[in-house]
């Protein structure tokens, strides 16, 4: 198969030589033919040497690399790539765990598939394209996925309406590419969750907090827990299972609070220890008392772009300062940032400043990140996005 060609400016192949998977538009000298949004192109150095192939897209990232070898991109190609991702999940004990049927199968650049996310919820895969290329190839990907997972996947839901570059005008529609079962209960380490892949955030559930939730369970015994930004209530149920005295879940979205309440009924029907509140985080933190000795702060990304960094850091400072002011002596704070543009150091500085503002003595117990099914490609360190600190507050 011959693909259209992209030629780089002299010296602009350096990052590709180090297997970084993006070609920025500024690095391109000329493009042969007129590739469409999402079309596969071959990339050549200024000396006419093949260096990579990837999906073309109009924008600052012009090519997202899908291979450093010259290959035919067809169903077999996708099958090989997906099989590698599946194999990794099997080898780390996530794909065949009787107590857990929820995991991320494909994590974009982390699985050498830039622009593609696939989360597995038992027999359903939720597929999300963040690039025009993955959108264009969605049907081939869906077929490859069914074959690679050997009858295990009965439904494939495509959910890209809000994640694709709107300028590309791809007219994406959410919908089932395979099956269509409304059955939507996922199991994470023995706990059950309704996953709303039709209307929920992301692919319907935040798979990336699994290991951090499991860690929280160990610290929950006899504590009064506040799960701020609870969404489906994930952290709350681990706290309950861990023996918490009471658990309050808070989210500004009424839908999230409904989901949380439904999930309480699935796991701990009628348990009087849990209450959920639909309220703004800052308001709740202002009005709450000092009864909590385990607090989780897992806000949405405060900065989606570099320009928003300063405001985001201020947001993290304010939010954490409120928790430090109110948490009981001997309390534990689980605090997170999922903004990609906020570095680990940025986040630490914001949290440490907040601790100092509140005048508390604080120790770091754990430094958390995303789990193994959200791997970071070492040639693409930008893929590390989730940062967390577990802090002991004297």
Could you list the active site residues? 338
Show the binding pattern over residues 175-204: x = contacts ligand SAH (CB under 6 A), - = does not: ------------------------------
User: How far apart (Å, rounded) are the C-alpha atoms in residues 155 and 172?
Assistant: 18
Q: Total residues at the site for ligand SAH (CB under 6 A)?
A: 17
Show the binding pattern over residues 210-249: x = contacts ligand SAH (CB under 6 A), - = does not: -------------------xxxx-xx--------------
Tell whether residue 369 is a contact of ligand SAH (CB under 6 A): no
Tell whether residue 251 is a contact of ligand SAH (CB under 6 A): yes
> Are 297 and 320 a contacting pair, CB within 8 Å?
yes
Query: And the tokens for 152?
Result: 């295990």
Tell whether residue 206 is a contact of ligand SAH (CB under 6 A): yes
Which residues, other chains included, contact 58 with Cβ-Cβ below 8 Å and sequence gap of 6+? 37, 167, 168
Which residue from 21, 113, 131, 26 is spatially nearest to 68, judged by alpha carbons? 21
253 or 275, CB closer to ligand SAH?
253
User: How far apart (Å, rounded) are the C-alpha atoms in residues 135 and 145?
Assistant: 15
CB of 232 to ligand SAH, least distance (A): 5
Tell whether residue 31 is a contact of ligand SAH (CB under 6 A): no
74 or 311, CB closer to ligand SAH?
311
Tell whether residue 298 is a contact of ligand SAH (CB under 6 A): yes
**Helices and strands of the chain, counted as H and E runs:** 10, 20
User: How far apart (Å, rounded) are the C-alpha atoms in residues 297 and 223?
Assistant: 16
CB of 282 to ligand SAH, least distance (A): 6
User: How far apart (Å, rounded) are the C-alpha atoms in residues 381 and 19?
Assistant: 11
End-to-end CA distance of the chain: 65
CB of 230 to ligand SAH, least distance (A): 6
Tell whether residue 103 is a contact of ligand SAH (CB under 6 A): no
22 or 229, CB closer to ligand SAH?
229
CA-only gyration radius of the chain, Å: 22
> Are 365 and 392 a contacting pair, CB within 8 Å?
yes
Which parts of this chain interact with ligand SAH (CB under 6 A)?
206, 209, 229-232, 234-235, 251-253, 256, 280-281, 298-300
């Amino acid at each position: 198969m011959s693909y259209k060609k992209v030629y780089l400016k002299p010296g602009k192949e350096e990052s590709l030589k180090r297997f970084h998977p993006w070609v920025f538009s500024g690095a391109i000298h000329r493009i042969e033919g007129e590739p469409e949004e999402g079309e596969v192109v071959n990339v050549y150095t200024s000396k006419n040497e093949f260096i990579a192939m990837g999906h073309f897209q109009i924008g600052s990232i012009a090519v997202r690399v899908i291979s450093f070898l010259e290959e035919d991109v067809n169903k077999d190609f996708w099958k090989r790539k997906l099989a590698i991702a599946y194999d990794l999940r099997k080898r780390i004990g996530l794909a065949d765990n009787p107590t857990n049927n929820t995991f991320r199968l494909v994590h974009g650049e982390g699985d050498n598939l830039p622009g593609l996310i696939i989360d597995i919820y038992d027999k359903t895969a939720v597929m999300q394209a963040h690039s025009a290329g993955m959108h264009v190839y969605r049907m081939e990907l869906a077929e490859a996925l069914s074959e690679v997972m050997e009858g295990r996947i009965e439904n494939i839901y495509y959910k890209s309406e809000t994640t694709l570059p709107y300028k590309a005008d791809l007219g994406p529609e959410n919908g089932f590419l395979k099956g269509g079962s409304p059955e939507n209960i996922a199991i994470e380490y023995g706990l059950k969750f309704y996953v709303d892949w039709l209307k929920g955030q992301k692919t319907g559930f935040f798979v990336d907090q699994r290991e951090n939730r499991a860690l929280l369970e160990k610290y929950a015994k006899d504590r009064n827990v506040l799960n701020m930004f609870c969404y489906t209530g994930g952290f709350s149920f681990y706290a309950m299972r861990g023996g918490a005295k009471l658990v309050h879940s808070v989210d500004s979205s009424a839908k999230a609070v409904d989901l949380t309440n439904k999930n309480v009924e699935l796991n701990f029907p009628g348990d009087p220890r849990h209450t959920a509140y639909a309220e703004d985080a800052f308001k709740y933190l202002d009005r709450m008392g000092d009864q909590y000795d385990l607090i989780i702060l897992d806000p949405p990304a405060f900065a989606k772009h570099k320009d928003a960094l300063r405001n985001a850091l201020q947001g993290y400072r304010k939010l954490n300062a409120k928790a430090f002011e109110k948490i009981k002596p001997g309390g534990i704070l689980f605090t997170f940032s999922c903004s990609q543009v906020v570095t680990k150091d940025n986040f630490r500085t914001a949290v440490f400043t907040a601790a100092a503002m509140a005048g508390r003595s604080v120790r770091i117990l754990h430094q958390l990140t995303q789990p193994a099914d959200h791997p970071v490609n070492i040639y693409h360190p930008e893929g590390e996005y989730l940062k967390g600190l577990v802090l002991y507050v004297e």
